[in-house]
Amino acid sequence: MVRRDVERFRSYFVGACAYSGGIVLLMELRHLRYFVAVAEEQNVSRAAKRLHVSQPPLSRQIRDLETEMGVALFERSVKAIRLTEAGKIFLFEARAALQRAEDAVALAKSVANRKRNQIHVGYSVPPAVEILPRALRAFQRTNPQVSIDLRMMSEQQMLRALRSGGLDVSLTAYHDPTDFEGLSVEELGTYPLIVAAHKKHRFARLSEVPMSEVARQPMLAYQSEEFPGYHEMLGKLFSPYTPALKILAEYDSLESIIAAVEAGRGVAVLYQSLGHIACKRAVLRPLKPVPQPPPIVIAYRKERVSATVAAFVEAAKTAKLK
């Protein structure tokens, strides 16, 4: 791609932002979102599903965008759709434009609601047991004027909220690195994994439970849609023992999983740190061989890290597990 084409893209964005006639009326943020989704999925059907729109209008919007720009953004074949060199440049610029728009909205909301002295913290259950309380105490000792908005969320809810600006930081398990692309991640430690079973289950007679035995049990798990990393972890842990785990049921919370274990519906693989929550309602046993658990991390957006966010990250690092 020649230099004048690159400059053409840059001037296209500048023109779209600089005046209210012509091109700016035809090009909207949704066109950029549509383009980015198709570029990332490399498949119009998958992109349509991700965007919750039907495929024909999405294809039409992409072609209209190419027509307006006078440049082919994709190379199309029967089996695949790939970015042209021009499309690769446009993808970089489109992502930047969408990010700037999200930043502007988040800042405007912050100013309007007078919440500059507030930090929004998302968390899942495992880090809430030890790390979160320690981090809160350490942070509030040095930042007493800052209020803390705490939100317990699923893994995917936290990641979406971090990227949209709804959260400033999150404390969660680190399963798949690709889920955290574009975010800063600091490891805080690990909790061992255990198996939870009904009190009359045969596992109750064992001091530790072989992984091969757990692999043959009906498994109770978190919902795969909101906790894909957890399911990926289970698959990796038990792949040497079974080609496919029998996931009997999926739940949206730890409380629901423990209730199902207590009812004898199946077994569940949990963090050892949750033992005090489940110990009176289920049998908890270590696994053999000892599996490698995913680390607990604090995640936050890389760009424009405020002093408040930086202070909370430091507080979490002082509270990290030994």
Can you tell me whether residue 128 is helix, strand or coil? helix
Residues 184, 200, single domain; the answer is: no
What is the number of domains present in the chain?
Answer: 3
pLDDT at residue 305, rounded to an integer: 82
Q: What is the pLDDT of residues 84-127, one digit of tens each?
A: 999 998 998 888 888 888 877 776 665 555 455 889 999 988 77
CA pair distance 297, 274, nearest whole angstrom: 17
Share of the chain above pLDDT 90, in %: 49
What sign does the CA torsion over 257, 261, 264, 268 have? positive
Residues 180, 300 share a domain: yes
* CATH number of residue 238's parent domain: 3.40.190.10
Q: Taking the CA atoms of the chain, what radius of gyration do you get in angstroms?
A: 24
CA nearest neighbour of 44 among 30, 62, 68, 26: 62
Q: How confident is the model at residue 11 (pLDDT cuts 50, 70, 90)?
A: very low
Task: Read off the pLDDT of each residue in 134-163 and give the average, rounded to a whole number.
Answer: 92
Give the Cα separation of 238 and 214 in Å (integer): 8
Sign of CA dihedral 270, 275, 281, 287: positive
Domain boundary among the residues 111, 134, 161 is at 111
Distance CA 138, CA 24 (A): 48
Q: What percent of the chain is modeled with pLDDT above 70?
A: 86
Q: Which domain holds residue 221?
A: 193-288
Residues 186 and 205 grouped into a single domain: no
CATH number at residue 107: 1.10.10.10
Between 241 and 9, the higher pLDDT residue = 241
Same domain, 104 and 26: yes
On whether both 284 and 303 belong to a single domain, the answer is: no
- CB-based contact 194:285 (threshold 8 Å): yes
The answer to whether residues 54 and 93 belong to one domain is yes
14 and 99 fall within a common domain? yes
Q: What is the pLDDT of residues 16-69, one digit of tens each?
A: 443 333 333 346 788 889 999 999 988 999 989 999 999 999 999 999 888 888
**196 contacts: CB under 8 Å, gap ≥ 6:** 257, 258, 261, 267, 268, 269, 270, 278, 282, 283, 284
124, 173: one domain: yes
